[in-house]
């Protein structure tokens, strides 16, 4: 198994190093090759634009695609964001790559979270209709936010703490093991 993870700062591991990212935990636990193509501040348009170079050239068996937080901060409409996801999913299909969509974490900012919730709903629906696997990073984080434990899992309004990244790693590992 060879995985490429494409996304934004949450895939990259910001504000920490890649060693603390959820992707590093996934690679260690699955003992597989994983290329982290998370870029701080990236949008789904940016991910779409670099998909060929950052994903296809590595010839992975699987790709995780998670984005939308920066699109939500810019209040981009769902049609724009879903269109970017559809292009990336088409490229996966055309190249025999198994896509796995990641549900973005909650954002602790009401306006951004509203937009991001629309994107998440679309991802869930589209994935269910097309038998695409989804890693639900959102639900465990939302439950901890509701329980008042946001300071444990976030280092700011959007990015996980070291503990938060470890939790994401556990979620991703469990998901991949259940896929096998």
Judge whether 10 and 156 are in contact, CB under 8 Å: no
**CATH homologous superfamily, domain 2-179:** SGNH hydrolase (3.40.50.1110)
> What pLDDT digit, counting tens, does each position of 71-100 carry?
999 999 999 999 999 999 999 999 999 999
Residue 38 β-bridge partners: 7
H helix intervals, the chain: 9-12, 22-30, 44-54, 69-73, 78-94, 110-129, 138-146, 150-153, 162-179
> What pLDDT digit, counting tens, does each position of 2-12 carry?
999 999 999 99
Q: Return phi, psi of residue 74, to 5°.
A: -90, 0
pTM: 0.96
> What pLDDT digit, counting tens, does each position of 90-130 carry?
999 999 999 999 999 999 988 889 999 999 999 999 999 99
């Amino acid at each position: 198994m060879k995985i490429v993870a494409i996304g934004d700062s949450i895939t990259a591991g910001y504000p920490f190093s890649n060693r603390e990212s959820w992707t590093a935990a996934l690679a260690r636990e699955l003992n597989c090759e994983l290329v982290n193509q998370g870029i701080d501040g990236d949008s789904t348009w940016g991910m779409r634009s670099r998909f060929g170079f950052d994903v296809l050239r590595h010839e992975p068996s699987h790709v995780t695609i998670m984005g939308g937080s920066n699109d939500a901060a810019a209040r981009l409409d769902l049609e724009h964001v879903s269109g970017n996801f559809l292009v990336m999913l088409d490229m996966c299909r055309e190249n025999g790559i198994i896509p796995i969509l990641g549900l973005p974490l909650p954002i602790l900012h009401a306006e951004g979270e509203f937009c991001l919730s629309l994107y998440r709903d679309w991802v869930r629906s589209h994935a269910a209709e097309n038998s695409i696997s989804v890693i639900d990073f959102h639900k465990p984080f939302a439950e901890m936010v509701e329980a008042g434990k946001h300071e444990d899992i976030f280092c700011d309004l959007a990015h996980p703490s070291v503990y938060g990244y470890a939790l994401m790693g556990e979620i991703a590992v469990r998901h991949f093991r259940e896929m096998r």
